[in-house]
Amino acid sequence: MYFRTALSRPVASFAAATGSLTRSFGTSALAYKSFAALVKEIKATNKDIHEMGPQELGAALLQQSSSSEAADKPIVVDCREMSEITKTGTIPGALPLPRGILERDVQKFLPNPEQNTRNIVVYCAGGFRSVLAAESLVRLGYATDGKVTSLEQGFDGWVKAGFPVQDVASKK
């Protein structure tokens, strides 16, 4: 089925009549990259993005929960889709901020980048989307005083390591 917009006909007629509207489409300077290649490139080139494993995050959260220094506790962001979070739960205390809305809504949930001194740990299911989310946070200025970190192996690695999972219903 073919749909025409109100402007398609006059523009086409004008272009045909005058020959003045010409557009050429060339090959883009950007080369195709697979998702895995993009993640690998970001890891290799963006020095503001760090990585940590589930054991390291578990130790940081355990250490911080036993101390009174809440200001030192990392901010943990779950960038998976809400359907994933609902189905599997989250790392206890994590902020659900799906990758699809992260850039738009980040300021609703995280401190202003100029005022943030806490480390931010982002995770997804397997540790790949979180690299893209971490890159967005760096580009938005969240690596200024703090550190932006992607959780290697993501939520799957967290669960396999035997760490606790918080049911989404219990967060209400």
Across residues 17-33, what is the average pLDDT? 59
Residue 9 placed within a domain: no
Q: How confident is the model at residue 15 (pLDDT cuts 50, 70, 90)?
A: very low
Domain count, the chain: 1
pLDDT of 28 above 60: no
Residue 59, SS3? helix
Confidence (pLDDT) at 37: 93
Residue 168 has pLDDT above 80, yes or no: yes
**pLDDT, tens digit (0-9, with 9 covering 90-100), for 121-148:** 999 999 999 999 999 999 999 986 668 9
Residues 53-62: b if buried by 16+ CB within 10 A, e if exposed: ebeebbebbe
What is the residue range of 47's domain? 35-171
Q: Could you tell me if residue 49 is inside a domain?
A: yes
Domain with residue 116: its CATH number is 3.40.250.10
User: What is the secondary structure of 124-154 as a DSSP string?
Assistant: -SSSSHHHHHHHHHHHTTTTSSS-EEEETTH
* Coarse DSSP helix, strand, coil percentages of the chain, rounded to the nearest 5 percent: 45, 10, 45
What whole-number percentage of the chain has pLDDT above 70?
Answer: 74
Q: With H, G, I as helix, E, B as strand and everything else as coil, classify residue 89.
A: coil
Is residue 22 a part of any domain in this protein? no
Question: Can you give the pTM of this predicted structure?
Answer: 0.76
| CB 133, CB 99: distance < 8 Å | yes
Q: Say if 71 falls within a structural domain.
A: yes
- Average pLDDT (11-29) is 51
Asked if the structure places residue 16 within a domain, the reply is: no
Rounded Cα distance, 35 and 155, in Å: 19
Residue 24 lies in a domain: no
160 assigned to some structural domain:
yes
Q: How confident is the model at residue 5 (pLDDT cuts 50, 70, 90)?
A: very low
102 in Cβ contact with 130 (< 8 Å): no
**Is 50 contained in some domain?**
yes
Helix axes 129-139, 35-45, angle to 10 degrees: 50
- Confidence tier at 41 by pLDDT (50, 70, 90): very high
